[in-house]
Amino acid sequence: MSRKVPLYSAERPSIEYLTHRGPHEIAAGTLDEIGLPGLVFAPRTGPRLPAVVLGHGYLQPVNRYAWLLTFLASWGFVAAAPATERGIVPSHAGLALDLARTLDRLADTKLNNGRVTVDRQRLAVIGHGIGGGAAVLAAAAGAPPVRATATVFAAATFPSAVEAAATVTTPGLHLVGSADTVATPDADGGAIARAWAGPVQLRRIKGATHLGMVEGRHLTSTLLGDRGSRKVRRSVTTAMTAFLLCHVAGHAQLTEALDGTIAHAVPVPLTSTSEDTAEGAAR
C-alpha cells in the first residue's frame, strides 16, 4: 500500500508552520564583502536562493532586526540589512539606493565560502518606518527589479513613497499598527497601500506601536516610551514570511491563507478611512 504524501511539510509549509522557525540551519555575517556596513543571514548552503533586504527605521541599529532576518533565513531566504543613513537627518533616497545596491551585490556574490548563491529573479525589499518608505522607493526604481515589497509601520519619506507606490505593479504587503503614534496608519502605510498599482494587502496589527517590532534596548525606545513586543514580532514574522514565501519563493499553497487573518494581522479594506481604521482598532 502506497503512502500518501503529506499536504504540508516544513519544505511546503502551511500558515501554522510559519509560527515556528524554518528547517534551515543559519549562517550569520556582515555585508563587508560587498562594501557596505550591515548584517546578512542565510541558510548554510543553497544555490540560487531568494533574497530580501530590509530598510531600518529612523535611528534604529540593524541588530534590532536580527530576529526577523534570522527567521527569514530559517525559511530559505538570504536576508540582509544595510546599516547606512542612521544619522539625525537621513536621506530616504540614499537608503533606498543602498537597499537596491545590497540586493544587486548579493546577487553577484557567493556567500558562506561559495556554498550560497542568490537568484536574481527572486528578490524582495522590506522595511520598517522610514525604511518601509525607502523600500517602496527602491521597488519603484526597479534596479534591480523585485518580485514583492513589504512595509511595517511605514513612515513618510521624501521623495514620497505614496507617489512611488502608484508605479509599483508587483505584490505589496503593508502592515500598520493600531497604536502607532509616529507613523499614522491611515496617512502613511494605508496611503501607500491605497496608491499601490499592483496586487496589495493592508493589514492592521492590534495594539502595535511604532517600535513594537524591534528588539533590544535603544535610546529611541526610552524617548518614545515604546518597547518591543513579542506578540507584535510574532505577527510580523508570520504575515511577512507567508507573503514572501508565496510571492518570491513560489509557495503557492499559501495563497488562500493570505486572504484571511494571520497571527492578529487583520486585513483592512483599502476603501477604509481613518475613522474606519480607528473603529476597527477598537474592536
Is 263:239 a contact under the CB 8 Å cutoff? Answer: yes
Residues 6+ apart with CB under 8 A from 110: 116, 117
Reported confidence tier of residue 102, pLDDT bands at 50, 70, 90: very high
Q: What are phi and psi of 137, to 5 degrees?
A: -60, -40
pLDDT one-digit tens code per residue, 140-194: 999 999 999 999 999 999 999 999 999 999 999 999 999 999 998 777 999 999 9
CATH class assigned to 17-282? alpha beta
The pTM of this model reads 0.92
Higher pLDDT: 238 or 187? It is 238
Instruction: Name the percent of the chain lying above pLDDT 70.
Output: 94
| Separation of alpha carbons 283 and 144, rounded Å | 41
Structural domain boundaries of the chain? 17-282
Reported confidence tier of residue 6, pLDDT bands at 50, 70, 90: low
Residue 242, pLDDT > 60, answer: yes
Residue 5, pLDDT > 60, answer: no
As a 3-state breakdown, the chain gives helix, strand, coil percent values, each rounded to 5, of 35, 20, 45
Residues 6+ apart with CB under 8 A from 239: 173, 175, 203, 262, 263, 265
